[in-house]
C-alpha cells in the first residue's frame, strides 16, 4: 500500500477529473459499519464448550468482513484509476511547471491508412488519437503537425487550436515516408526551438515498407512515442502487374494485355470484373475467379485504332482498400515500324520481300560505308546484314543503341572477320559465333506456336494448324553459337547460307 501511495504522487493522469470517483471507496466502509451481525443468546445447561466456540467464530467473522471491505475498496479504486488512464512522465524530460512543451505529431496519411478499423478508416482513428494527445497538454504549449507530404505550411509551431484545425484537414496521399525520414524531419523541427520539454509522436500502421527502425538515429534527450494503428480487416485484392503478350503494337491489329491479380486474403472471389480503359474509352472487360492466397492472370484482348502514345487504366473494385485497385500504363502504337538494314554487300532480296512489301514497316537499306549514327535511335530495329567487319565506332554506337532499348538482328557473313563480331557480342553480354559448319541439314519441323508464324497458316476444321507435305528448307552451312550460362540473350539463331 505504501508503494502504491507513493506511485500516485509520481503519476500523471490523462483524465484527472475521473479521480473524483475515488470517493466511492467510502461505500464499502459504510456497508461494513451498518451491517453488524446480531447474535442471539441461547441458554444451555452446560455452555462451557459453546462459549469457547462462539468466541472463536466471532473473531473469524470480523476478520472475514474486514478483508471483504478492503477488497471492495481496492476494486473500486483500481477501476477509477483505470478510467483516469495514469502514466508516469519521463524523468529525462521533467521541466518546470511553467515550461513550454513542444509536441511534434506525425500522422501517416498514406493509402494504407484507408483500411478499416473498428470505428472507421485508420486515418480517422489516427486523427482522433492526435486530438487526444493534444488534449493532454496545456493551451500554452506548442504543436507541429507532420504528414507524408512534408508540406511547408506544416513546418511551423502552432497553438493547440491551429493544430487541431490542421488535423481535421488531413487527406490521404500517395506519398510514403519511412520511419527514419519522419524522425529526421521531426528532429530538425526542434533546432533553435524555444520550448524546454520536447517530444515526438508517430501515429501509423507501420507497414513493413516504411518500418526501417534500424536506421533511426536515437536521441536520448528527445523521446519518440510510437502509436500503432491496426486495421480490423486486412484482406485485400489488388492488381500486381500487367504486360503485353507481343512487344510490338500496330495500328488496326489486335493485341493482348495480361493483368496479374493477387488475392491477399482468406476470401474466395468469384466473377470479379476487370475493366480496361484506353484514352478514356472502355476497350476490354473480363471477369475472373480467384482462390485465397493466390494470383490469377487475366487476358484482355483488344484492337488499337489510333496511333501515337496511348494512356490506359486497369480497374477492379475492392472495398475498403481501393488505392491499389487501379494501374496506369502507357504504350506507343506506331503507324509504321522503322527498320534499318546495314548491308555489307548488296541488299538482301529476302529482307526486301519480308519488310518492304508490308505496309506496317518502314524499311530502309543503307550501306555500311555511309551510316548516319545520329539517326540510329529513330529505328525500332537495326539489321546487320552480312557485315564482314565491325569497326570500333560502329561497336560503340550499337552498344549505345542497345542501352536505349533498341533491337539488333545479326545475319553473319559466310566469310568474314568473326573476331569483331565476337568482340561486340561479348561486350553486350550475349553469346557469339564460333565455328562454321559446312554440312547439309534439313529443317525437320516448324514450331507453329512461335509468334513468328502467327496468322501464317490456316486452321483446320478441328482448330489445329497443319501443313500437308511441306517442302522445308535445307541449310547448307551454319555457325555454332556459344552457350554462356549468364548470357543476356533471349533468342539467338542464325543461318549463314541457304
CA nearest to 411, candidates 339, 479, 476: 479
Taking only the tens place, the pLDDT of each residue in 344-362 is 888 888 898 888 877 778 8
| 77, pLDDT greater than 80 | yes
Cell of 103: 509536441
Name the band, by pLDDT with cuts 50, 70 and 90, for residue 54. Answer: low
| 91, pLDDT greater than 60 | no
- Return the minimum-mean-pLDDT range out of 112-126, 297-311, 481-495: 481-495
- Return the minimum-mean-pLDDT range out of 10-14, 87-91, 414-418, 422-426: 87-91
Taking only the tens place, the pLDDT of each residue in 307-320 is 888 999 999 887 66
CB atoms near residue 136 (< 10 Å): 15
- Distance, in Å, from the CA atom of 261 to the CA atom of 269, rounded to the nearest integer, reads 11
In the beta sheet, which residues pair with residue 284?
276
The answer for residues whose C-beta is within 8 angstroms of residue 279's C-beta and 6 or more apart is 306, 310, 311, 312
Long-range contacts of 4-7 (CB under 8 A, 24+ apart): 7/88
3-state secondary structure of 348: coil
Cell of 66: 474486514
The alpha carbon of 74 is separated from its chain's Cα centroid by a whole number of angstroms, namely 50
* Core vs surface per residue 470-492: b (16+ CB within 10 A) or e: eeeeeeeebbebeeeeebeeeee
Backbone angles phi, psi at 439, to 5 degrees: -155, 150
Across residues 17-23, what is the average pLDDT? 83
- Distance, in Å, from the CA atom of 51 to the CA atom of 442, rounded to the nearest integer, reads 124
Backbone angles phi, psi at 410, to 5 degrees: -110, 125
Across residues 281-298, what is the average pLDDT? 91
| 100, pLDDT greater than 80 | no
- Distance, in Å, from the CA atom of 90 to the CA atom of 219, rounded to the nearest integer, reads 14
Taking only the tens place, the pLDDT of each residue in 245-276 is 877 777 788 889 999 999 988 888 888 899 99
CB atoms near residue 256 (< 10 Å): 13
In the beta sheet, which residues pair with residue 151?
none
Q: Is 110 exposed, middle or buried (0-12, 13-18, 19+ CB in 10 A)?
A: buried
- 3-state helix, strand, coil split of the chain in percent (to 5) is 30, 30, 40
CA 6, 8, 10, 12: dihedral to nearest 10 degrees? Answer: 180
What's 154's DSSP letter? G
Say whether the peptide bond before residue 320 is cis (omega within 30 degrees of 0).
yes
Across residues 156-176, what is the average pLDDT? 91
- Distance, in Å, from the CA atom of 108 to the CA atom of 205, rounded to the nearest integer, reads 8
| 193, pLDDT greater than 50 | yes
CA nearest to 202, candidates 133, 155, 265, 156: 133
Cell of 367: 550501306
Cell of 126: 489516427
Cell of 203: 501515429
Do residues 292 and 236 lie in contact, with contact meaning Cβ atoms separated by under 8 Å? no
- Distance, in Å, from the CA atom of 390 to the CA atom of 399, rounded to the nearest integer, reads 12
CA nearest to 424, candidates 470, 383, 389, 456: 389
H/E segment holding residue 15: none
| 215, pLDDT greater than 70 | yes
Question: Which percentage of the chain shows pLDDT scores above 90?
Answer: 23
Name the band, by pLDDT with cuts 50, 70 and 90, for residue 93. Answer: very low
Question: Which percentage of the chain shows pLDDT scores above 70?
Answer: 81
CB atoms near residue 268 (< 10 Å): 11
**Please, what is the end-to-end C-alpha distance for the chain in angstroms?**
102
In the beta sheet, which residues pair with residue 104?
144, 200
Q: Can you give the pLDDT at residue 313?
A: 93
Rg (CA), the chain: 40
- Distance, in Å, from the CA atom of 160 to the CA atom of 137, rounded to the nearest integer, reads 9
| 380, pLDDT greater than 50 | yes
Q: Can you give the pLDDT at residue 50?
A: 53
| 432, pLDDT greater than 70 | yes
Amino acid at each position: 500500500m505504501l508503494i502504491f501511495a507513493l506511485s500516485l504522487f509520481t503519476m500523471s493522469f490523462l483524465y484527472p477529473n475521473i479521480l473524483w470517483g475515488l470517493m466511492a471507496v467510502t461505500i464499502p466502509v459504510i456497508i461494513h459499519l451498518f451491517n453488524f451481525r446480531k447474535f442471539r443468546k441461547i441458554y444451555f445447561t452446560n455452555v462451557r464448550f459453546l462459549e469457547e466456540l462462539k468466541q472463536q467464530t466471532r473473531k473469524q467473522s470480523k476478520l472475514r468482513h474486514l478483508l471483504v471491505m478492503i477488497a471492495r475498496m481496492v476494486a473500486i479504486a483500481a477501476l477509477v484509476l483505470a478510467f483516469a488512464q495514469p502514466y508516469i512522465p519521463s524523468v529525462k524530460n521533467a521541466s518546470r511547471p511553467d515550461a513550454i512543451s513542444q509536441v511534434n505529431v506525425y500522422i501517416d496519411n498514406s493509402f494504407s491508412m484507408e483500411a478499416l478499423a473498428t470505428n472507421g478508416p485508420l486515418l480517422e482513428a489516427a486523427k482522433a488519437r492526435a486530438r487526444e494527445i493534444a488534449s493532454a497538454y496545456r493551451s500554452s504549449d506548442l504543436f507541429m503537425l507532420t504528414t507524408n507530404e512534408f508540406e511547408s505550411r506544416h513546418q511551423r509551431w502552432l497553438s493547440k487550436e491551429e493544430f487541431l484545425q490542421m488535423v481535421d484537414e488531413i487527406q490521404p496521399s500517395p506519398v510514403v515516408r519511412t520511419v527514419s525520414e519522419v524522425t529526421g524531419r521531426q528532429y530538425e523541427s526542434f533546432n533553435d526551438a524555444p520550448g524546454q520539454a520536447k517530444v515526438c509522436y508517430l501515429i501509423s500502421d507501420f507497414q513493413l515498407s516504411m518500418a526501417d527502425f534500424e536506421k533511426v538515429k536515437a536521441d536520448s534527450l528527445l523521446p519518440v512515442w510510437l502509436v500503432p494503428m491496426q486495421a480490423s480487416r486486412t484482406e485485400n485484392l489488388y492488381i500486381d502487374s500487367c504486360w503485353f503478350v507481343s512487344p510490338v503494337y500496330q495500328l488496326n491489329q489486335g493485341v493482348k494485355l495480361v493483368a496479374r491479380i493477387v488475392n491477399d486474403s482468406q476470401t474466395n472471389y468469384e466473377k470479379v470484373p476487370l475493366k480496361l480503359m484506353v484514352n478514356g474509352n472502355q476497350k476490354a472487360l473480363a471477369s475472373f475467379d480467384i482462390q485465397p492466397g493466390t494470383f490469377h492472370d487475366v487476358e484482355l484482348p483488344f484492337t488499337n485504332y489510333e496511333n501515337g502514345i496511348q494512356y490506359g487504366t486497369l480497374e477492379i473494385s475492392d472495398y475498403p482498400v481501393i488505392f491499389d485497385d487501379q494501374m496506369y500504363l502507357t504504350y506507343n502504337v506506331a503507324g509504321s515500324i522503322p527498320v534499318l538494314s546495314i548491308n555489307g554487300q548488296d541488299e538482301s532480296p529476302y529482307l526486301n520481300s519480308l519488310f518492304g512489301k508490308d505496309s506496317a514497316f518502314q524499311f530502309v537499306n543503307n550501306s555500311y560505308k555511309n551510316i548516319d549514327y545520329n539517326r540510329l535511335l529513330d529505328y525500332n530495329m537495326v539489321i546487320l546484314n552480312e557485315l564482314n567487319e565491325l569497326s570500333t565506332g560502329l561497336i560503340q554506337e550499337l552498344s549505345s543503341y542497345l542501352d536505349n532499348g533498341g533491337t539488333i538482328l545479326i545475319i553473319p557473313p559466310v566469310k568474314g572477320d568473326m573476331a569483331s563480331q565476337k568482340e561486340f557480342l561479348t561486350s553486350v553480354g550475349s553469346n557469339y559465333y564460333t565455328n562454321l559448319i559446312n554440312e547439309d541439314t534439313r529443317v525437320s519441323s516448324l514450331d507453329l506456336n512461335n509468334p513468328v508464324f502467327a496468322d501464317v497458316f490456316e486452321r483446320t476444321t478441328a482448330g489445329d494448324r497443319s501443313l500437308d507435305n511441306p517442302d522445308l528448307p535445307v541449310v547448307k552451312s551454319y555457325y555454332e553459337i556459344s552457350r554462356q550460362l549468364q548470357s543476356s540473350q533471349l533468342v539467338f539463331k542464325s543461318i549463314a547460307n541457304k
